Amino acid sequence: MTTKFQKGKSGNPKGKPPGATDKRTKLRELLQPHAAELLQKAVNLALEGDPAALRMCLDRLVPTVKATSIPLIIELPTAGTLAEQGAAIYQAVAGGTIGTDEAGALMQILQGQARIVEFSELESRITALENKECKQ
């Protein structure tokens, strides 16, 4: 069976010629002379209640709100298993102590900690196996 593409061989050896402009650049150049009029039209449509134009204008005026650091208002058990710490986060959400955004961030931290623990345990096991092999 032959394959259409051969390993290590480009399907387009010449590639894009130097100086070639992509479609977006051409469209930008086409629209640029009319930018002020197009912008005014979008603003007028937004003011007339066009939801798409309104969203576009607001997206450019008001930046997306990013999460800010807030003090942790729940007491997570630092001792105990990761499962117990996860359960404490779920209980805090269920009890209304923290929101789902904060809980998600905390769960990501726990996932990172779980990976660290997993790699650490694997490293210890591999080292023990290597030491055992060297002694034999």
pLDDT tens-digit series, residues 52-95: 999 888 888 887 776 666 566 566 666 678 888 888 888 888 98
Q: What is the mean pLDDT of residues 13-30?
A: 84
Domain of residue 37, residue span: 25-61
**How many domains does the chain fold into?**
2
Within a domain: residue 5?
A: no
Closest CA to 90 of 72, 77, 81, 103: 103
Within a domain: residue 116?
A: yes
Are both 95 and 57 inside the same structural domain? Answer: no
- Whether the pTM exceeds 0.85: the reply is no
Residue for token digits 């002379």? 33
pLDDT value of position 73: 59
Closest CA to 89 of 78, 102, 103, 75: 103
pLDDT value of position 40: 93
Within a domain: residue 66?
A: no
Q: What is the mean pLDDT of residues 33-45?
A: 92
Within a domain: residue 124?
A: yes
Residue type, 7: K
Confidence of residue 3 (pLDDT cuts 50, 70, 90): low
Spatial contact of 95 and 77, defined as CB atoms under 8 Å apart: no
Are both 87 and 54 inside the same structural domain? Answer: no
Spatial contact of 67 and 98, defined as CB atoms under 8 Å apart: no
